[in-house]
């Protein structure tokens, strides 16, 4: 069995940890190869005839069909990214994916149609798939809430928890250890939240200085602030901007640049559409892609 998961964030890593938990409890963990993957990575080469579980990511549509063929129909795709889900549905995606993606609907926004999906993180969906009748642990709920933008209405508690979790959890095995020592961890949520508050205070000060270095650019006619920084989400730092969005970018190596797009507020746009046009993907308010020509965006004012 292969487990292909989004390696970049805790939503994907916790999803893989949940699969590992289920596998160990049911004595099939020795048959699993875990493959962390992020957008821009090469498509992994897999053996034919093994079950495939994919969490929190999607390959291009033609590669998704290949996975179904390789697995001989035993392919489970668990995702919550609007752009990937829409592409699968628009291409009459095979039935294997439709039972485990959240409900999808299209609503009309200002001068555009926006794809809206049920607000759940991939790790929450993974838990529900493997443990349909078991109570979801609070850490799974918290990590999923952050990755599905439900932290905006909870007075920052989910955001604080996310920053503390990033300090302690860096891969799916460390996420799995939470389940191994669950009784000890369960009593420490408040401590993690308090530590996250301290981390966010520091990051807020740093973010305001970083934002002063932003330059004005355009992407597909939309105005963006561009910042040379990894993983810089302005919506987490109480930063105000009049543009439709913010672009952060950094050099990954091998001639590749990773670009993240963010948009929020009354003039928000669906950045997943912009990312998908560039072979990336993501959510309506946060998405990304890989490019080998960053200059085309920086010289676009």
Q: Which of 171, 200, 229 is the last residue of a domain?
A: 200
Among 12-21, 140-149, 235-244, which range has the highest average pLDDT?
A: 12-21
Query: pLDDT at residue 242 above 90?
Result: no
Mean of pLDDT values over 137-146: 93
Per-residue pLDDT band at 100 (split at 50, 70, 90):
low
Question: Which domain-ending residue is among 174, 200, 226?
Answer: 200
Q: What is the pLDDT of residue 93?
A: 53
Query: Is residue 45 one of the residues assigned to a domain?
Result: yes
Are 26 and 89 in the same domain?
yes
Choose one of 156, 176, 200: the last residue of a domain: 200
Give yes or no: residues 33 and 170 share one domain. yes
Highest mean pLDDT among 183-192, 207-216, 237-246, 281-290: 207-216
User: What pLDDT score does 112 carry?
Assistant: 44
Per-residue pLDDT at 49: 94
Alpha-helix residue ranges (DSSP H) falling in 27-180: 61-70, 82-90, 95-98, 122-130, 138-147, 157-168, 172-180
Mean per-residue pLDDT for 271-290? Answer: 89
The band of 103, judged by pLDDT with boundaries at 50, 70 and 90, is low
Average pLDDT for the chain:
86
Residue 44 lies in a domain: yes
pLDDT at position 84 over 90: no
**pLDDT for 253 beyond 50:** yes
Q: Specify the pTM.
A: 0.83
What is the C-alpha end-to-end distance of the chain, expressed in Å?
A: 48
The answer to whether residue 109 scores a pLDDT higher than 50 is no
Contact 225, 261 (CB under 8 A): no
Q: Is 208 inside a domain boundary?
A: no
Do 75 and 160 lie in a common domain?
yes
- Together in a domain, 188 and 217: no
Judgement on whether residues 219 and 90 belong to the same structural domain of the protein = no
| Within a domain: 207 | no
173 and 263 inside one domain? no
User: In this structure, what token pair is assigned to residue 133?
Assistant: 């009748």
Q: Is 274 among the domain residues?
A: yes
pLDDT at 107: 42
Of 78-87, 132-141, 183-192, 218-227, give the lowest mean pLDDT range.
Answer: 78-87
Q: What pLDDT is stored for residue 7 in this prediction?
A: 95
Do 34 and 165 belong together in one domain? yes
Is 205 inside a domain boundary?
Answer: no
pLDDT surpassing 60 at residue 82: yes
What's the average model confidence in pLDDT over 70-76? Answer: 86
Contact between residue 217 and residue 301 where contact means Cβ atoms under 8 Å apart: yes
Confidence of residue 224 (pLDDT cuts 50, 70, 90): very high
Q: How far apart are CA 145 and CA 124, in angstroms?
A: 9
Domain that holds residue 162: 2-200
Whether residues 6 and 117 fall in one domain: yes
Same domain, 30 and 123: yes
Of the candidates 60, 68, 21, the residue with the CA atom closest to the CA atom of residue 43: 60
* CATH code for the domain of 254: 3.10.310.30
72 bridge partner residues: none
- Do 268 and 169 share a domain, yes or no? no
- pLDDT value at residue 236: 85
Mean of the pLDDT values across residues 110-119?
51
Does residue 86 lie within any of the structural domains?
Answer: yes
Per the structure, the count of domains in the chain is: 2
192 and 260 in one domain?
Answer: no
The rounded percent of the chain whose pLDDT value lies above 70 is 87
Q: How confident is the model at residue 179 (pLDDT cuts 50, 70, 90)?
A: very high
Summarize the confidence of residues 161-184 as an average pLDDT: 92
Cα 32 to Cα 50, 51, 53, 271: the distances in Å are 10, 9, 10, 35
Q: Are residues 45 and 148 in the same domain?
A: yes
The sign of the dihedral angle between the CA atoms of 217, 218, 223, 229 is: negative
Does 184 fall in a domain?
yes
């Amino acid at each position: 069995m292969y487990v292909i998961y989004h390696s970049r964030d805790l939503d994907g890593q916790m999803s893989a940890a949940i699969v590992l938990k289920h596998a160990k409890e049911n004595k099939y963990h020795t048959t699993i190869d875990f493959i962390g993957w992020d957008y821009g990575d090469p498509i992994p080469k897999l053996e034919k005839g093994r079950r495939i579980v994919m969490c929190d990511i999607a390959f291009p549509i033609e590669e998704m069909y290949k996975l179904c063929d390789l697995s001989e129909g035993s392919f489970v795709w668990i995702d919550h990214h609007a752009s990937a889900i829409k592409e699968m549905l628009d291409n009459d995606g095979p039935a294997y994916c439709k039972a485990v993606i959240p409900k999808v609907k299209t609503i009309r926004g200002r001068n555009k149609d926006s794809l809206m999906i049920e607000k759940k993180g991939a790790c929450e969906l993974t838990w529900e798939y493997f443990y349909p009748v078991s109570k979801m642990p609070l850490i799974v709920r918290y990590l999923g809430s952050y990755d599905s933008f439900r932290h905006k209405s909870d007075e920052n508690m989910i955001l604080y928890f996310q920053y503390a979790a990033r300090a302690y959890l860096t891969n799916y095995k460390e996420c799995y250890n939470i389940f191994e020592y669950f009784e000890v961890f369960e009593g420490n949520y408040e401590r993690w939240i308090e530590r996250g508050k301290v981390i966010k205070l520091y990051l807020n000060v740093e973010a305001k200085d970083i934002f002063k270095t932003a330059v004005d650019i355009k992407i597909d006619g939309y105005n963006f602030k561009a910042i040379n920084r990894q993983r810089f989400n302005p919506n987490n730092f109480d930063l105000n901007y009049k543009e439709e969005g913010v672009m952060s970018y950094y050099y990954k190596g091998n001639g590749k640049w990773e670009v993240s797009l963010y948009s929020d507020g009354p003039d928000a746009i669906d950045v997943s559409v912009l990312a998908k046009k560039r072979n990336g993907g993501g959510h309506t308010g946060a998405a990304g892609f890989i490019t080998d020509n960053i200059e085309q965006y920086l010289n676009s004012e």
